[in-house]
Structure 1
Amino acid sequence: MIRANNSLLEEEIQPDLTPLLDIIFIVMVFLLLTASVRLQSLEVDLPQTETKTLQETEADPVTINLASASPYWALQSAPIESWNEFTQALIKEMKKNPQRPVVIGADKAGSVEHMLKLLAFLQQHDIKATQLLMEEEES
């Protein structure tokens, strides 16, 4: 009987580890969620140019338009259905007169993916985009 009482005393003296385990798991989840994650990005080396308005450019610019719905691409206001057709037309246009400035106008609701794809293509073919058209916010 004395032993039975001793075993009861030993069970009462042992700490309950359940709250400690809960805290350890919460801290682990916090550390996993706040760990730094490497963001995937595309490095695009944009050319440095002086700011000019469209009226100040010397030559008639090559205009590229990006739309939010298909067809996504337009060159000189002519819609082009596919990316391959667009790139071929742009290269052909730039070969006619490589000194012509390039103006890019993108729809506000357009895909960022299409803009990055275009900028990467321009950089790859050493085509300098002199202007990105933007709408000023009204104050």
Structure 2
Amino acid sequence: MIGRPEPAQSGWRALTPDITPLLDIIFIVLVFLMLTANIPLQSLEVDLPKTDSKALSSMQDNKAMTINLLAGDPAWALQGEQYADWENFKPVLLERLPALKEAELVLASDREVTVDNMMKLLAFLQEHEIQATQILMEEGP
């Protein structure tokens, strides 16, 4: 007569299910959820003033200084005087540093200006503790 083989383990351990695969799946899902969770991005908040164009045009010319960032060969301008590159423009800024600190500073940039030119100017202003009171921007097309 053919009999059934006896299990290697007897008793209550032979009757309990093996939960190792279930734990593996739970850990995989947990790792997946942790990796795809929304991580808050670090960002710099900028508070832009809400002004209309009339307020910009009513600024007094004797108290305001304008720095232009231009797209093209003369990349910089201060009060309408153009300078070809940063090495020529920085000494002019240093020369007029006391006037820049006292005046209302307006930054005007073309749309095609590279970010590194804007960052050079903002780093210079921050280094010398000059606060730009207005940044002029064009509206989108």
TM range (shorter): 0.5 to 0.7
* Structure ranking higher on relative contact order (CA contacts 8 Å, 6+ apart): 1
Query: Residues 28 and 12 of structure 1: is their aligned pair in 2 closer, same or farther, counting only changes over 3 Å?
Result: same
In structure 2, the residue matched to 1:74 is 76
User: Does the 8 Å CA contact 2:100/2:130 hold for their aligned counterparts?
Assistant: no
User: Does the 8 Å CA contact 1:103/1:132 hold for their aligned counterparts?
Assistant: yes
In structure 1, the residue matched to 2:18 is 15
Q: Distance in 1 between matches of 2:9 and 2:103?
A: 92
Q: Distance in 1 between matches of 2:36 and 2:26?
A: 15
Letter in 2 for 1:6: P
TM-score, normalization: structure 1?
A: 0.58
Q: Distance in 2 between matches of 1:114 and 1:65?
A: 11
RMSD: 4.4
User: Does the 8 Å CA contact 2:63/2:104 hold for their aligned counterparts?
Assistant: yes
Work out the percentage of aligned pairs sharing the same amino acid: 25
In structure 2, the residue matched to 1:135 is 138
Give the structure with the larger helix fraction.
Answer: 1
Query: Residues 97 and 17 of structure 1: is their aligned pair in 2 closer, same or farther, counting only changes over 3 Å?
Result: closer
Post-superposition offset of 1:137: 5.9
- Please, which runs of 5 or more residues in structure 2 have no aligned partner? none
In structure 2, the residue matched to 1:106 is 109
Matched, 1:115 2:118: yes
User: Does the 8 Å CA contact 2:75/2:83 hold for their aligned counterparts?
Assistant: yes
Query: Residues 105 and 2 of structure 1: is their aligned pair in 2 closer, same or farther, counting only changes over 3 Å?
Result: farther
TM-score, normalization: structure 2?
A: 0.57
Q: Distance in 2 between matches of 1:65 and 1:23?
A: 59
Query: Residues 108 and 24 of structure 1: is their aligned pair in 2 closer, same or farther, counting only changes over 3 Å?
Result: farther
User: Does the 8 Å CA contact 2:69/2:109 hold for their aligned counterparts?
Assistant: yes
